[in-house]
Structure 1
Amino acid sequence: MRILIVGAGATGGAFGARLLAAGRDVTFLVRPGRAAQLRIGLHYVTPGIDEVRRLRTVTADELDETFDLVIIAVKANALGAVIDDMRPAVGPSTVVLPILNGMAHMDRLERAFPGRVIGGIARIVATLDSSGGVRQLGELAEITVPADQPGVAAALDVPGIDLVTSDDILRAQWAKWTFIAAAGTVCCLFRGPVGAIVEAGGRPHIETIVAETEAVAAAAGYRVDDDAHRRSLATLTREGSDFTSSLYRDLVDGHPTEGEHLLGDLVARAAALDVPTPLTALALVQLRTATHHPNP
């Protein structure tokens, strides 16, 4: 299976490095600046691995062939641009696999590539270092794909990637979205890691926030199961934990955030479903304010 990974940032780079190591046929669609940065190869660091791997890159003006599988691994903010960039790669038998958080991208991609898009989930903690290398923090590197896509599953089932198949990928996507939205709301609203928030007396508010986001999923027809609910609460109420959400980290680092994609879309759907989400909406207002009037 010929694979195109759209984006060679932390997520796309980490998963791509594992696929390359297993001998998969992988090409990265990147911006010209990133292509120049990767000319000497992709520096990939994770526990037990520190390597520079040669890779094939193309930019939008060079892309002139179709692929079997297109994995979209960019932030939601970049989705509009990459949809246009990747069009030449999508043929009548191409499978498009976005591994973004939230759900708004699914409708957008389906409109652009009808019948070609499948759901997917990625779980990984990775970052780019100052030179553009990919650093995977810890061993978690999991991708979930629909159970009715055995070819995609086989292509992604390589050492270093925990491959999961789901009989209900939309429910799995909603479950992750509710957790990501709750984590973003908690950390952005209370401005810190969950351990400090719990120590400050924030546990009842955290529980309320989790209940808010999960109520939206239930109203949409995708109730979060008890195990996923317990995992979310355990992560967001662990005493002494230094866990923070990526939404919060982007905010404090001054980077563009996925606030509208993760919280804005959830709050809008909640309103349409007549589900109250006061704390999630409050965090969204704070994010919007910080975006338009950042601290000097």
Structure 2
Amino acid sequence: MANAGTLKVCVAGAGAIGCTVAARLAMAGVSVNVLARGAALKAITANGITLADLEGEHLAPVRASSRAGEFGVQDIIFVCTKAQSLARILPDLQPIIGPDTVVVPMVNGVPWWYFHGIGGQFDGRTVQALDSSGELAKMVPLKHVVGCVVFITSEVTAPGVVKSSTPHLLIFGEPNNTYSARLDRIKTVFEASGIEARVTDQIRDPLWAKMIANLTSNPLSVVARATLQDIYTDPGLKRIAIKILHEGLTVAAAYGARIQYDPHTFMELAAGMGAVRTSMLQDFDKGITLELAAIGDAFMELADLMDIAMPVTRDIVSMARFLGQQREIEVVNA
């Protein structure tokens, strides 16, 4: 097995999560290739990535390009983009995916691979809200995919410049709930990076916890223009978040998920994240299409399969979608 320093690693996407991961890996001596475009590419090429986190401010030089083929075949590709951008970025990765390349989507919400290897009546089903035609699975055969649950909150303050005020944690697992050597290889990459990496043979358990965290916070943050601290401590917003939480937990239970925290602890931990602006609120402010398909629609699709109603969730998601569409129009016409 190659050591972390000799592995060929690509981070596809230069947003908040992509820059955080790329910077931390580069600081640990990993040779990182970053697939970027536009202002981010220009800034990273000229200045590297600047990351301000709990350990201070860091400058990490990385190799960046808008053409993935320049990197050659990679050992590991971390796909750090919005769910709605996957159909655009995955074709660009084709030249760098070899027979043994591991592709790790670091994407919010329900993943397109959710039903792959799950077993039971839904095994192999396509998540219609994300991949109705099955194109994502065709572009990246599922044998290449390793699941990842991202517990990193960060924000882009300028192209190639990111800040984060919380600890960094990533959890990796095989979609078919097995333990593999490639999980160990991924974990090894992060050993000296300052990002805690864990592996599990039950990836959907922490995935459901993160999906529910996204569900209770992201759409509501847009509707109320609220931080995490606001959502989980303001009496009025907290009541709404608790209702969404219980709806989400009901769906998770129907799929056999084991959530580590009880509802009270979940709310306390979420409030403890502080005045963090969700990624969806950041996108709203910029007039970027909101990540509601993966965070909201796909979650409710899973609920429908189990005949579970999510009335509060549906209302909040609908309001967030309307506001997001109006904001996009405002930015275009500005």
Q: TM-score, normalised by structure 2?
A: 0.78
Q: Secondary structure at the match of 1:92?
A: strand
1:116-168 deviation line (CA, Å, top 9, x unaligned) = 001001222222223x1323322411111125311111112223111122221
Give the corresponding residue for 2:160.
133
Task: Measure the CA separation in 1 of the matches of 2:230 and 2:210.
Answer: 23
Q: Secondary structure at the match of 1:257?
A: coil
Task: Measure the CA separation in 1 of the matches of 2:21 and 2:188.
Answer: 14
Alignment of 1:227-266 (within 5 A): 227=261, 229-236=263-270, 242-266=275-299
Give the corresponding residue for 1:277.
310
Report deviation, 1:99.
Answer: 1.2
Task: Measure the CA separation in 2 of the matches of 1:112 and 1:221.
Answer: 30
Give the corresponding residue for 1:2.
8
Report deviation, 1:38.
Answer: 1.6
Task: Verify: 1:15 aligned to 2:21, yes or no.
Answer: yes
Report deviation, 1:272.
Answer: 2.4
Task: Measure the CA separation in 2 of the matches of 1:196 and 1:38.
Answer: 34
Q: 1:144 to 1:104 in 2, by over 3 A?
A: closer
Alignment of 1:78-89 (within 5 A): 78-89=85-96
Task: Verify: 1:100 aligned to 2:107, yes or no.
Answer: yes
Task: Verify: 1:213 aligned to 2:248, yes or no.
Answer: yes
Report deviation, 1:34.
Answer: 2.8
Residue among 18, 29, 49 paired with 2:56? 49
Q: Secondary structure at the match of 1:293?
A: helix
Q: Secondary structure at the match of 1:23?
A: coil
Task: Measure the CA separation in 1 of the matches of 2:38 and 2:270.
Answer: 39
Partners of 2:219 and 2:320 within 8 A in 1: no
Q: Which amino acid aligns with 2:139?
A: A
1:42-87 deviation line (CA, Å, top 9, x unaligned) = 2232344334332111223644621110111112221111110111
Q: Which amino acid aligns with 1:182?
A: T
For this pair of structures, how many residues does the alignment match?
Answer: 293
Partners of 1:214 and 1:223 within 8 A in 2: no
Task: Verify: 1:144 aligned to 2:171, yes or no.
Answer: yes
Q: Secondary structure at the match of 2:98?
A: coil
Partners of 2:149 and 2:171 within 8 A in 1: yes
Partners of 2:33 and 2:63 within 8 A in 1: yes
Q: Which amino acid aligns with 2:80?
A: A
Report deviation, 1:110.
Answer: 3.8
Residue among 59, 62, 70 paired with 2:66? 59
Partners of 1:175 and 1:228 within 8 A in 2: no
Q: Deviation above 6 Å: which 4+ runs of structure 1?
A: none
Task: Measure the CA separation in 1 of the matches of 2:9 and 2:112.
Answer: 20
Partners of 1:122 and 1:143 within 8 A in 2: yes
Report deviation, 1:252.
Answer: 4.2
Task: Measure the CA separation in 2 of the matches of 1:63 and 1:228.
Answer: 48
Alignment identity in percent?
22
Q: 1:25 to 1:135 in 2, by over 3 A?
A: same
Q: Structure 2: which 5+ residue stretches go unaligned?
A: 1-6, 115-130, 174-178
Q: Which amino acid aligns with 2:8?
A: R
Q: 1:199 to 1:141 in 2, by over 3 A?
A: closer
Q: Which amino acid aligns with 1:133?
A: G
Q: Secondary structure at the match of 1:274?
A: coil
Task: Measure the CA separation in 2 of the matches of 1:158 and 1:228.
Answer: 32
Task: Measure the CA separation in 2 of the matches of 1:283 and 1:204.
Answer: 13
Task: Measure the CA separation in 1 of the matches of 2:71 and 2:19.
Answer: 22
Task: Measure the CA separation in 2 of the matches of 1:283 and 1:139.
Answer: 27
1:160-195 deviation line (CA, Å, top 9, x unaligned) = 111122221122112210111111244344443455
Give the corresponding residue for 1:204.
239
CA RMSD in angstroms comes to 2.6
Task: Measure the CA separation in 1 of the matches of 2:238 and 2:84.
Answer: 31
